[in-house]
Structures are given as structure tokens and as C-alpha cells.
Copies of this chain bind each other. A is one copy, B any other.
Amino acid sequence: MKLTILGCHSATPRWDAHPTAQVLEARGHLFLIDCGEGAQVQLRRYKVKFARIKHIFISHLHGDHFFGLVGLISTFRLLGRETELHIYGPKGIKEAIILQLKLGNSWTNYPLLFHELDDKEPQLLFEDNKISVTTIPLRHRVYTNGFLFREKIGERKLDIKATQAADVSMSYYSKIKQGFDVKNEAGDLIPNAQLTLDPEPSKSYAFCSDTAYEPNIIPQIKGVTTLYHESTFLTEHQELAVKTRHSTALEAAMIARDAKVGTLIVGHYSGRYNDLELFGKEANEVFDNVELAEDGKVFLL
């Protein structure tokens, strides 16, 4: 999994700080997560091959998470896109986008499919034989979901040297990868484990923005490879975090610790802080593996 941060700042765009948008590359997919104003410019700036995006997940309908969506949809039209595009987001998102396209008499020439959400329990949004995407219900001022991306366990990998050593015919390679024991040229049954290597470990990524401290999510994100959790504030502004239903860096780290995740990435910083290192320091009080999101930063999970 490869995560590219397009923007990770809260509130309003500044010339050097962009609102939330991320691209997750996983098992051949390119998923866009949130789409603040200017996300399409950031996609170009960081040379993401964004025509490959087929699924866009919008956490909630505050402007800093979706005002860039209608522009990106329009750009796809201008670039002659034909592939279908799936938008997953809170109820109301379809009306907002369609109305704006209608006003400009600018219908898309590709299938634009909306999947509107209003469920308060985790919902499976997308699944194929390689990966699944599920909502993580969050607690914010408006209806909000995080998203959990979980790779499936792949096939065992053929150990070519071992099959040659065991004198197994190449015609069995497909069976071996599916997990079967097979016979060698001499007619002996060779156990599958002797002919194969473990599949690559499956990775998982949980995106949680925006949300108040919400320990209810812990069972769902238990043990994920990487958790992105908003930390809009530092503890010195705890009362603001409570009032606006955001989290502090400490709270983000408590979630990471209690969910026993591999790595925590913090972001969605309020514009009032100049020194972002303070977020890392505060989170480190209770959790070690903390990374700071930055516009343009790439994380290999």
C-alpha cells in the first residue's frame, strides 16, 4: 500500500497548506479519500496518474473535505473520461454535485455513480478478491465516516526451486498456487507447504477524520497496519476539541495505542499552530510509532 497525502490541514486552504485529500494505492486500485478544494491541482503537482481513480470516498460534507470534488468530476469530463466513477459519501452529496453540473449544462460523458451513506453501523462499500473497503462510523458535528481498507490474504506463492527439486511438473503450478498437494513425476504426493511460500502479508489502512475522541472505533480498527487519525488540536486546546468534535494529538495516540496499530499518522492540523513537531511530541507520550502527515508526503505501508 502506498499512501500519498495531497492535503492534511484543517479549515481553509492556504497557498502552502491544503485541506484533506489522500490517494491510497493498493492491490492495483487507486482510491481517493476526501477531496478538499484544490485536490485536483495537488494530484497534478504530485504526478498521480489520477485517470486511474475509480472510487472516491468522502468522509463528510464540510467544505474542507469535499469542495474539490465537483471540479475533479468536471475535469474528468474535459479529459474525455469513459470509465465509470463511483462516489461514496453522505446523503445529499449527489444532489450537490448534480445541481452544479446542471447549472453549467455540463453532464459527464462517463457513468457517474453515487453511493449515498446514512447508516450508523459499519458498512461494506467495496469488495473484490483483493481488497475490501468498510465505513468506520465517527463522531463529528455532521454525519461522518472514516474508511477501513483491508487487503485480503493472497494466494500462496510458488517456490519454483522447491518444485524443481521435488520433480513436480509445471502443469501443476496453478493447482499448487491454489493450495493443493500434488504428485511428482515419480508418483509421490508432495505436501503443498513444501512447494510454496507464504503470501505477502496483507496490509490494512484506517482513515479517521474528522472525529471527536471515539473509543468505539477501536474494535473495528484493531491491529491495522497504519491508522491516520485527525489531531486538529493539542491538549492545551482540549476544550476547543470537545466543542468542535475534533481530537487532540494525545487522543489520537490513545486510540492508536488501545487499537494496537502499527503506525499512527496524525494530521488535520488547526491553522493556529506553527510548529507541527508538537503534535508528534504529544502523541509520543503514549504511542511510539507516530508520523506527521505533510502535503506531498508518501507513506509506504
Contacts and interface: CB of A to CB of B under 8 A. Distances in A.
Interface in A68-93: 68, 70-71, 74-75, 78-79, 90, 92-93
Contact of A12 (B67, B75, B93): B75
Interface residues of A, number: 37
Given A12-B71, A75-B12, A96 B92 contact: no
Contact of A40 (B12, B75, B78, B100): B12
A37 interface: yes
Interface string A85-123: 000001011011001100111100000000000000000
Q: How many protomers of this protein does the assembly include? A: 2
A13 interface: yes
9 contacts: A12-B71, A12-B75, A15-B44, A37-B68, A38-B38, A63-B71, A67-B67, A96-B103, A105-B142
B106 A15 contact: no
Contacts of A60: 104
A281 interface: no
Nearest to A271: B78
Given A37-B38, A61-B103, A63-B104, 10 more contacts: A12-B71, A12-B78, A12-B79, A13-B38, A13-B40, A13-B75, A37-B68, A92-B103, A96-B96, A96-B99
Interface of A: 11-15, 37-38, 40-42, 44-45, 60-63, 67-68, 70-71, 74-75, 78-79, 90, 92-93, 95-96, 99-100, 103-106, 141-142
Contact of A63 (B44, B95, B100): B100
